Amino acid sequence: MSAKNIDAALIACNVNLLYTCGRIVSGYLYLPVDAPAQLFVKRPNNLTGEHVHPIRKPEQLPELLHACGLPLPSTLILEGDELSYSDYMRIAACFPQADVVNGTLLLRKARSIKTEQEIELFRRSGIAHARAYNRIPSVYTPGMTDRELSIEVERLMRQEGSLGIFRTFGQGMEIFMGSLLAGDNAAAPAPYDFALGGEGLDASIPIGANGSKLQKGQSIMVDIGGNFFGYMGDMTRVFSIGKLPAKAYEAHQVCIDIQDAVAAKAKPGVVCEELYQTAINLVTKAGFADYFMGAGQKAKFIGHGIGLEINELPVLAPHVKQPLEAGMTFALEPKIVLPGIGALGIENSWVVTDTGVEKLTLCNENIVEL
């Protein structure tokens, strides 16, 4: 903020409140460059402290700032990509003297570099995530539908401590705890910018399991998000009903090889699009390019940042010139969808270290027969 001559930020959205002040409130965090932050709270009404103040409406902010001995800002950032238009304009009108600018990208860039404490929460999440996935074979019974198995996997995750809620960035993004994709449902296109889609159970949420019965010879891809401490870890594993055709195991191994090659290359300073191109080169050489990251509708990325939301910076995609930095955390998810079989591949969470990357989700990566 100081480098951009910004006097203060006014934070009102849940994820950014959690990041900047450690809790979610209905209200506003006023974050000036040269003074302590002030928290103005509508709800809950039981918070107290030297820098905590009750508020009923944003129009009170100038008066309350004056009472705190703070000057009104000349330049103020708001969460332009997250606030509704009406909320943005209402808050901006409270500061007619200020140049009000969109601070969403600045906040997302700050959140993309994790502290050691945040990284440790990812490590602990990865352990709980793996415990749940290791128990998936125990909850499968023949004759299940994909919906029934998904419910059991979600239950396992909750038993291991998952908070359930799955936060995403962008009003056009929504999903429950993740997705379970069986057979050709993995190829069904969805309107959301996730790696794979699925028809879903209802037109109101057209993604994920569609209620079909699990069949022999099809793959089952489990991609359930791991929110155990507020941070969204990501891990995908593949299961099967009986043995799959040899081509499926070949495709799965190609995805593991892509993961290993990208992980070996990833380190501070490496540009995101270089990692994406590494994946494209390998899958093309292996002969699976037509089925990579979808069949028909394809995702144009192989990985994405993770954090308080599942889709943070950086994005491993073409034309993304952003270099990796130590402390970034991301999910890497090379996947192949074979018609008549389903989705194959892998997804793990990683943190960028000073010299390379560390895998945060440690779990059997082979196809597990149910």
pLDDT tens digit string along 105-145? 999 999 999 999 999 999 999 999 999 999 999 999 999 99
Mean pLDDT of 239-262: 98
Q: Is the pLDDT of residue 171 over 90?
A: no
Please give the pLDDT value at position 67.
96
CA proximity to 350, closest of 283, 305, 308: 305
Rounded to 5 degrees, φ, ψ at 81 are: -90, 0
Cα dihedral angle (193, 310, 228, 225), rounded to 10 degrees?
30
**Could you tell me the two tokens for 152?**
């059991």
Question: Domains of the chain, with CATH numbers?
Answer: 8-111 (3.40.350.10), 113-369 (3.90.230.10)
pTM of the model: 0.95
Contacts of 365 (CB under 8 A, 6+ apart): 237, 256, 346
Contacts of 168 (CB under 8 A, 6+ apart): 174, 175, 309, 310, 311
pLDDT tens digit string along 312-336? 999 999 999 999 999 999 999 999 9
3-state secondary structure of 101: strand
pLDDT tens digit string along 74-111? 999 999 999 999 999 999 999 999 999 999 999 999 99
